[in-house]
Amino acid sequence: NSPEGYLIKGEYAVRVTWSGVYVHSAPWSVNSQGYANVSHGCINLSPDNAAWYFDTVHIGDPIEVVA
């Protein structure tokens, strides 16, 4: 709950907001992704999906998050 946020060791991190929301690899939560809230605000992906996203998106590409 620090105002400075928190640090994780995640690969393939793409920042999507000025406030520090990222799309990144989260191998520790793969089995819960899409079923439970396992993030503090970031968008967690499997390592394979995160690698694809990292290699595919470009600066300025729009994203839409649907819950």
Residues catalogued as catalytic: 24, 42
From the CB of residue 36, how many other CB atoms can be counted at a distance below 10 Å?
A: 9
Burial environment of residue 24 by CB neighbours within 10 A (0 to 12, 13 to 18, 19 or more) = buried
